[in-house]
Amino acid sequence: MKLWVTPTGDRWLCDECQREFAEQIEKEQWRAAFEKWEPTLRCVHCKHGDMEVFD
């Protein structure tokens, strides 16, 4: 999951959604602040996490 700095605020995006937003990322010149692997983080677009947490 990457934290993207956008003109309208910061957004967490998973790798799959990042591909969907590639054109917008390039056009608006979003900057990737950092990448973090945390099971509780959720993508702002699809609401899924990068990891599955099993009980």
Does the structure show a pLDDT above 80 at 7?
Answer: yes
DSSP label of 50: S
H or E stretch at 35: strand 31-35
pLDDT at 50: 72
Asked whether residue 3 carries a pLDDT value surpassing 80, the answer given is: yes
pTM of the model: 0.79
Q: Is the pLDDT at 53 greater than 80, yes or no?
A: no
Measured CA to CA in angstroms, residue 28 lies from 21, 23, 38 at distances of 11, 9, 27
- SS3 category, 43: coil
Torsion, Cα of 27, 36, 15, 51 (10° steps) = -160
Over residues 19-44, the pLDDT tens digits come to 999 999 999 999 999 898 888 889 99
